[in-house]
Homo-oligomer: A and B are copies of this chain.
Amino acid sequence: MATDQAQGGSVSETYEAFCQRVERISSVEDAGGVLRWDQEVVMPEEGTPARAKQLSTLSSISHELLTDDETREFLEELEAADLDDEQAAVVREIRRKYDRATSVPEELVVELSETTATAHPKWKQAKENDDFEAFAPTLEKLVDLKREYAAHIDPDADPYEVLFADYEPYLDLETAERVLERLRDELVPLIEAIDESDADLETDAFAGTFEDDDQEALARDVLDSLGYDWNRGRLDTAPHPFSTGTQFDARVTTRFEPEDLLGSITSTIHEFGHANYTLGLPDDHYGTPLGQSRDLSVHESQSRLWENHVGRSRAFWEHFLPIARERFPELDEVTPEEAYEAANQVYDDNLIRVEADELTYHLHIVIRFEIERELISGDLEVEDVPEAWNDKYEAYLGVRPETDAEGCLQDIHWSHGSFGYFPTYSLGSVLAAQLYATAETELGDLSEDVRDGEFDDLNGWLRERVHQHGKRYTTPDLIETATGEAFTADYFLEYVEEKYGELYALE
């Protein structure tokens, strides 16, 4: 008994020391997050050389702290000990991070980082000049390096699966594939039916030109209305909106286009969803995995839930249109129904992912997913990407890009070497639907709350079921805990079929 206690004491001391190291790593990573926010939002244009050094120093310091022998010794000692669930979760998460970080040789990490640093301006130039060939050698090199990277982590696995797991560690690729195939198989005919429908949706509800300052005031209204905690957040503009931070300070960025008021509203709601997840993480676990958000799919489920299930609902526009009219009297004649229709139009001839609606969006993702898989497996050569890309757009969306700038060069991700990232966008939407359906099963129809601008119940439910757990559960376990069942596309498909069936008067 005395021995047990002594051992218990020593495990808890080791765990404590381990957590201090983990918190140290997190603090350095979070400092990097502040520097990146600063770079995107406020840094003067010529600040880059110093900022690049600061960021690379922080990232190499956190890498060294993580891959240090002491981390391994802590992990081995704690894995052999009797831990409670929370401790075991922390050890599981750091073990995974440690294994990934130590299996890739330093030289390859450096080469990847140097290649992506030069890839970004090359991609930008190639996109501007619609010149895929100028980017192709870089893309080829990135594909090779990423294959090599994957082989170091797990030489026996499908390399794409390894890359995907960088963004979504616990949902296996088979699940992702099954979901994406289902989306493709069910959304293609749905979008065709919409295309053929005679329904005449209101498209001009938000036509006009809207001043940046007024749009910003309205974005603040949106955040007020959803319950954003300004004591722990702020709103700024950035060329590519994002949100970042910790449970103590989770910031939103958005952007304003004079002729796209709706775009800024939905983008603000989307980023609110991300920040709101971060703000729901438990304060007292700041710095360990228990106080950090789960990976990209879960994060995206939070942004999509607010953007689509709340922000694109009829009830939301009944609530929010009067607020918007205060800022923009030109909306006085618009009805909530018209705003709802405008926010939910399906554009089957759109080529650009970031401008896509809630349905066609997923076909953009499916196309990238299919192309990425073939690229990484070697079944598709880099030089053949544009044709494969265009063929798929024609097949799934009935529209063929005329330029590569609007085609396979449109997105920045490949220039970052991010293969395997895209699927998480769709998985997030699918999970959003599953969560929202469960919330409505348990809390009752939420549309009345939304109409009243009353989001506390929904948010309380999300806090309890998702946010407060941090990384305590793996993603599949978190989904199971939150919704009572395994990850499924059923709810998403039900949701879109019902919503768009009604909107477009399909039978």
A54 is an interface residue with CB less than 8 A from chain B: yes
Segment at the B interface, from A135-143, A145-153, A231-239, A463-471: A231-239
Quick check: B248 and A27 within 8 Å, CB to CB? Answer: no
Query: CA–CA, A47 to B46, complex, Å?
Result: 28
Quick check: A42 and B44 within 8 Å, CB to CB? Answer: no
A6 is an interface residue with CB less than 8 A from chain B: no
Quick check: B233 and A57 within 8 Å, CB to CB? Answer: no
Quick check: B286 and A50 within 8 Å, CB to CB? Answer: yes
A480 is an interface residue with CB less than 8 A from chain B: no
A161 is an interface residue with CB less than 8 A from chain B: no
Query: CA–CA, A289 to B385, complex, Å?
Result: 50
Residues of B within 8 A of A229 (CB): 46
Quick check: B286 and A45 within 8 Å, CB to CB? Answer: no
Segment at the B interface, from A29-37, A114-122, A216-224, A319-327: A29-37
A28 is an interface residue with CB less than 8 A from chain B: yes
Query: CA–CA, A246 to B48, complex, Å?
Result: 11
A13 is an interface residue with CB less than 8 A from chain B: no
A49 is an interface residue with CB less than 8 A from chain B: yes
Query: CA–CA, A249 to B283, complex, Å?
Result: 33
Quick check: A286 and B232 within 8 Å, CB to CB? Answer: no
A58 is an interface residue with CB less than 8 A from chain B: yes
A61 is an interface residue with CB less than 8 A from chain B: yes
Residues of B within 8 A of A61 (CB): 24, 28, 61
Quick check: A46 and B286 within 8 Å, CB to CB? Answer: no
Per-position 1/0 for A38-62, Cβ under 8 A of B: 1000111111111101101110010
Q: How far is the CB of A209 from chain B (nearest CB, A)?
A: 24
A residues 54-76 touching B (CB-CB < 8 Å): 54, 56-58, 61
Beyond A53-B287, A57-B24, whether A48 also contacts B234 by CB under 8 A is: no
Residues of B within 8 A of A344 (CB): none
Quick check: A50 and B247 within 8 Å, CB to CB? Answer: yes
Q: How far is the CB of A400 from chain B (nearest CB, A)?
A: 42
Residues of B within 8 A of A249 (CB): 43-44, 46-47, 50-51
Quick check: A23 and B53 within 8 Å, CB to CB? Answer: yes
A230 nearest CB neighbor, chain B only: B44
Residues of B within 8 A of A35 (CB): 31, 34-35
Among A50, A51, A231, A287, max chain B CB count under 10 A is at: A50
Query: CA–CA, A192 to B441, complex, Å?
Result: 83
Quick check: B234 and A46 within 8 Å, CB to CB? Answer: no
Among A24, A27, A246, A247, max chain B CB count under 10 A is at: A27
Residues of B within 8 A of A51 (CB): 248-249
Q: How far is the CB of A248 from chain B (nearest CB, A)?
A: 4
Q: How far is the CB of A163 from chain B (nearest CB, A)?
A: 29
Beyond A28-B61, A31-B35, A61-B61, whether A49 also contacts B230 by CB under 8 A is: no
Quick check: A232 and B44 within 8 Å, CB to CB? Answer: yes
Quick check: A57 and B44 within 8 Å, CB to CB? Answer: no
Query: CA–CA, A136 to B13, complex, Å?
Result: 38
Quick check: A28 and B231 within 8 Å, CB to CB? Answer: no
Quick check: A57 and B38 within 8 Å, CB to CB? Answer: no
Quick check: A58 and B28 within 8 Å, CB to CB? Answer: yes
Query: CA–CA, A31 to B247, complex, Å?
Result: 21
A residues 327-371 touching B (CB-CB < 8 Å): none
Quick check: A50 and B230 within 8 Å, CB to CB? Answer: no
Quick check: B42 and A234 within 8 Å, CB to CB? Answer: yes
Query: CA–CA, A24 to B46, complex, Å?
Result: 21
Residues of B within 8 A of A42 (CB): 42, 234
One of B44, B54, B287 near A234 (C-beta < 8 A): B44
Beyond A49-B248, A247-B50, A283-B49, whether A233 also contacts B34 by CB under 8 A is: no
Per-position 1/0 for A142-183, Cβ under 8 A of B: 000000000000000000000000000000000000000000
Residues of B within 8 A of A57 (CB): 23-24, 27-28, 31
Q: How far is the CB of A224 from chain B (nearest CB, A)?
A: 15
Query: CA–CA, A45 to B229, complex, Å?
Result: 11
A58 nearest CB neighbor, chain B only: B31
Among A43, A46, A48, max chain B CB count under 10 A is at: A46
Q: How far is the CB of A213 from chain B (nearest CB, A)?
A: 12
Residues of B within 8 A of A234 (CB): 42, 44
Besides the contacts A34-B35, A43-B249, A46-B249, what 13 more A-B pairs have beta carbons closer than 8 Å? A23-B57, A27-B54, A28-B54, A31-B35, A31-B54, A35-B35, A42-B234, A44-B231, A45-B232, A46-B229, A47-B249, A49-B286, A53-B287
Chain A residues close to B by CB (< 8 Å): 23-24, 27-28, 30-32, 34-35, 38, 42-51, 53-54, 56-58, 61, 229-234, 246-249, 251, 283, 286-287
Sampled A-B contacts (5; CB under 8 Å): A27-B53, A31-B58, A38-B38, A42-B234, A49-B283
